[in-house]
Amino acid sequence: MARLVMKFGGTSVANIERIRNVARHVKREVDAGHEVAVVVSAMSGKTNELVAWCREAAPLHDAREYDAVVASGELVTAGLLAITLQEMGVQARSWQGWQIPILTSDAHGSARIESIDGSDIVRRFTERSEVAVIAGFQGMHKPTGRVTTLGRGGSDTSAVAVAAAIKADRCDIYTDVDGVYTTDPRVVPKARRLDRVSFEEMLEMASLGAKVLQVRSVEVAMVHKVPTYVRSSFDDPADPRPGTLICDEEDIVEQQVVTGIAFSKDEAQITLRGVADRPGVAAAIFMPLAEANINVDMIIQVVSDDRATTDLTFTVPVAEFEKAKKIIEGLRGVTYTELAGTTDVVKISAIGVGMRSHAGVAAKAFKALAEKGINIRAITTSEIKFSVLIDSDFTELAVRTLHTLYGLDHAA
Amino acid sequence: MARLVMKFGGTSVANIERIRNVARHVKREVDAGHEVAVVVSAMSGKTNELVAWCREAAPLHDAREYDAVVASGELVTAGLLAITLQEMGVQARSWQGWQIPILTSDAHGSARIESIDGSDIVRRFTERSEVAVIAGFQGMHKPTGRVTTLGRGGSDTSAVAVAAAIKADRCDIYTDVDGVYTTDPRVVPKARRLDRVSFEEMLEMASLGAKVLQVRSVEVAMVHKVPTYVRSSFDDPADPRPGTLICDEEDIVEQQVVTGIAFSKDEAQITLRGVADRPGVAAAIFMPLAEANINVDMIIQVVSDDRATTDLTFTVPVAEFEKAKKIIEGLRGVTYTELAGTTDVVKISAIGVGMRSHAGVAAKAFKALAEKGINIRAITTSEIKFSVLIDSDFTELAVRTLHTLYGLDHAA
């Protein structure tokens, strides 16, 4: 007997027929003797509808009221799945965030889970053999008693956090893909599904553009060491494939140097040419951006021959591009000859814990990309990944090149 | 300055444009210096959609889960109205049933309100001049911590109960009609809108088929003496009509003998002919119906000339007709010659507190109906109303006849 958390996203619960399919997956685990908590998202499209109504009511709206509105979608699916499970003869009840309770910060719209009291759920596993069906994506801020939401994709985080709270043996994230791939199979048909990937690698992949899991859910899984599977809800409930296990590095026997290639088009490049180089000029530029909550990622500084001026290139999220340019145009005390920028760039990243012990991994990539005539605009590296910023026209070519270079193509 | 509760039903909040209209009504009262709590229903159609999903998931479903699902609709409108009010510069926050809390019995699907703690809402009137926007139709059963609903039309009851809890000066029920009429204007074009109607009369009208208010809401208003207006949400928010005031009998100066004519097609007639008349035969028939929760309304017993047998006629709700017939067919120890029944009947009622002090009010009706050739199948009377059961073909004719008879037609 094991204790499991199973999480199902919006496309998996889009209508009653699909909710029945989800119930069959749950029943399989219950019939196998496991204790099961299920976390569900809203039916696909419902959250968007609720968000659109909030925007129509007021473009800038109270985040507390937004949370009260959009958290309602998950209540519906939790109740409907409980009804469907009961109809199949499985003991079940739904739980709203405040009922458990799942307590969060008061950062409405992107609240952080602070604590989960799993005692009632666990007690009912024992006393009633009852499946807990939990509304994902939400919690409650205790001092105000108000409903909070965890941000888009927050149900993944709900699931992993519940798994940690009830000391589950594993957390299964059911989704519309059958696991984590070495890269996006739509870009590289030779992409392989990974059997295992380490928490650290998954965290980098999610942060660097892979959309299969919310970044925060991976953080929580890593901190609490929750073995987490990514698997398909569209598999036959009687005979599903295992998917990809996200686990501790030491549980992965055959470690690759590079595990996956991620890419993100959510990058905009800003270049300041001929900046008068004096002490503190970088702070004068980057402090105001930080104060405006603009996340600056890659930074390159090229000093001119006469050492009097410098060219400064950096990236910001696409959504912050215009705002960042305005802030720079308004700076006092910083002189430059030209402000240029573009959103036609892509950040391509290679991720692998093997980089820690292998030198020259990134250098091979620079050479391979240069041979294809791809110009690298910026580079960042960390212990287990490196990223390059290139023209977005070369996205597919660059991803395929690195995928082949690091031996990730499948055999067929 | 007064303290008000304003209630808006599903058609009044069917989309964002209508929610804006509702917000204008609220703002008018706030601008006049009043303290306002608003109770809202789900957008029209939404509750039906949620109910249909529950039924699709399982024809017979757990009422606790049904409540968790269907109560979500009101959360959406409460949040959206709060956002819309804020956009208009009115301080507002939404309240879910469990947040206030509104505590109820555990009769899921038709729970009764047991207590409401209005202290936070009142405190925020004073400290923040904040409008409370309350999700109607729902509460929480404290011992289990689960969400309950009050049954169809339950938001009316929420509104009146909140008004009692916060000691409001009045409760305004905004709806798609502009008040309570002497009868259904679609049947009698000469029906008049009433300026005032007593709690007792309104309770009878609602019980006897008038659909303008939920019966329980009138009971609560009567018990707590909450002056309640029924008025139109489609009036110009800048210049609305007052609607109909439901109030204490003593606050109505010009009392009519008959205030209104109600009719209900939700009646089925069952007749047992040639019942062997012996002591206890009525109990032998009606006890099993009562045990099956079938509400028997009108009863007529006609003893035969030889006094050995009797004909027994009674009515049950249409929804219980088949069930009631099956129970009677299964009775042991009751002999009869024929079991007949029909749903082609209508119950027509005249209501007025003036009947207490006027004799022969019903007799005039029997005569007038007889003159039109309308056969009366059964009669019931109480202190302030009488009802007749007739063929449903004569519905309109009978309602018009009584409406004219009691001087209810408007002048034009």
Say how far apart CA B390 and CA B252 lie, in whole Å.
32
- Report CB contact under 8 Å: A75, B65: no
Q: What is the pLDDT of residue A191?
A: 95
Task: Assign 3-state DSSP to chain A and report helix, strand, coil percentages, each to 5.
Answer: 40, 25, 35
Mean pLDDT of A191-203: 95
Mean pLDDT of B211-236: 94
pLDDT in tens, B93-131: 999 999 999 999 999 999 999 999 999 999 999 999 999
Mean pLDDT of B206-234: 93
- Report CB contact under 8 Å: A98, B93: no
Are residues A158 and A294 both part of a single domain? Answer: no
pLDDT in tens, A290-326: 998 898 989 888 877 777 888 999 999 999 999 999 9
| Residues in chain B closer than 8 A to A69 (CB atoms) | 75-76, 79-80, 83
| Residues in chain B closer than 8 A to A76 (CB atoms) | 50, 53, 69, 72
ipTM over 0.90: no
Res. B305 pLDDT band, cuts 50 70 90: confident
Are residues B146 and B274 both part of a single domain? Answer: no
Domain count, chain A: 2
Question: What's B10's domain CATH number?
Answer: 3.40.1160.10
Mean pLDDT of A267-284: 89
Give the three-class secondary structure for A105.
Answer: coil
Are residues B293 and B156 both part of a single domain? Answer: no
Chain A nearest-CA distance from B266, in A, is 30
Instruction: Compute how many other C-beta atoms are within 10 angstroms of the C-beta atom of residue A3.
Output: 16
Give the three-class secondary structure for A196.
Answer: strand
Does a structural domain hold residue B34? yes
Does a structural domain hold residue B232? no
Chain A nearest-CA distance from B91, in A, is 11
Are residues A160 and A292 both part of a single domain? Answer: no
Q: What is the pLDDT of residue B48?
A: 94
pLDDT in tens, A45-104: 999 999 999 999 999 999 999 999 999 999 999 999 999 999 999 999 999 999 999 999
Q: What is the mean pLDDT of chain A?
A: 94
Say how far apart CA B37 and CA B26 lie, in whole Å.
9
**Those residues with Cβ within 8 angstroms of residue B287's Cβ, 6 or more apart along the chain or in another chain:** none
Q: What is the pLDDT of residue A101?
A: 97
pLDDT in tens, A136-180: 999 999 999 999 999 888 999 999 999 999 999 999 999 988 999
Beta strands in B254-377 (DSSP E): 260-264, 268-276, 299-303, 309-316, 338-342, 345-351
Q: What is the DSSP letter of A332?
A: S
- In this complex, the residue of A19, A64, A72 whose CB is nearest that of residue B75 is A72
Are residues A9 and A139 both part of a single domain? Answer: yes
Among A85-94, B158-167, B274-283, whose mean pLDDT is lowest?
B274-283
Given A316, A342, A368, which residue is the final one in a domain? A342
Mean pLDDT of A116-122: 97
Are residues B273 and B169 both part of a single domain? Answer: no
- Answer yes or no: are the C-beta atoms of A155 and A9 closer than 8 Å: yes
Nearest residue in A to B67, CA atom: A79
Mean pLDDT of A370-399: 94
- Residue in this structure with the two tokens 């199973």, named with its chain if needed: A6
Residue B307 has pLDDT above 80, yes or no: no
Nearest residue in A to B140, CA atom: A99
Q: What is the DSSP letter of B77?
A: H
- Report CB contact under 8 Å: B66, A83: yes
Res. B277 pLDDT band, cuts 50 70 90: confident
B13, B83, B94, B147: best to mutate for the A interface, most A CBs within 10 A: B83
- Report CB contact under 8 Å: A68, B79: yes
Q: What is the pLDDT of residue A412?
A: 61
Res. B5 pLDDT band, cuts 50 70 90: very high
Question: What's B276's domain CATH number?
Answer: 3.30.70.260
Phi, psi of B387 (to 5 degrees): -130, 145
Instruction: Taking the CA atoms of A154, A155, A157 and A162 in sequence, report the sign of the dihedral they define.
Output: positive
What angle, 0 to 180 degrees and rounded to 10, lies between the N-to-C axes of helices A63-70 and A72-87? 20
Does a structural domain hold residue A392? no
Q: What is the DSSP letter of B375?
A: P
Does a structural domain hold residue A98? yes
Does a structural domain hold residue A297? yes
A70, A76, A90, A119: best to mutate for the B interface, most B CBs within 10 A: A76
Cβ burial of A251 (10 Å; 0-12, 13-18, 19+) is exposed
Given B126, B151, B176, which residue is the final one in a domain? B176
Does a structural domain hold residue B235? no
B65, B133, B146: best to mutate for the A interface, most A CBs within 10 A: B65
pLDDT in tens, B329-377: 998 888 899 999 999 999 999 999 989 888 889 999 999 999 999 999 9
Residue A212 has pLDDT above 80, yes or no: yes
Chain B: residues touching A (Cβ < 8 Å): 16, 19-20, 50, 53-54, 56-58, 61-62, 64-66, 68-69, 71-73, 75-76, 78-80, 82-84, 86-87, 93-94, 96, 98-99, 145-147
Chain B nearest-CA distance from A62, in A, is 6
Say how far apart CA A84 and CA B60 lie, in whole Å.
10
Res. B412 pLDDT band, cuts 50 70 90: low
Does a structural domain hold residue B368? no
Tokens of A156: 């993944």
Mean pLDDT of A353-357: 89
Domain range for A298 is 268-342
Beta pairing partners, A319:
none
Are residues A169 and A57 both part of a single domain? Answer: yes
- Answer yes or no: are the C-beta atoms of A217 and A152 closer than 8 Å: no
Nearest residue in B to A93, CA atom: B65
Does a structural domain hold residue B239? no
Given A176, A204, A223, which residue is the final one in a domain? A176
Q: What is the pLDDT of residue B84?
A: 98
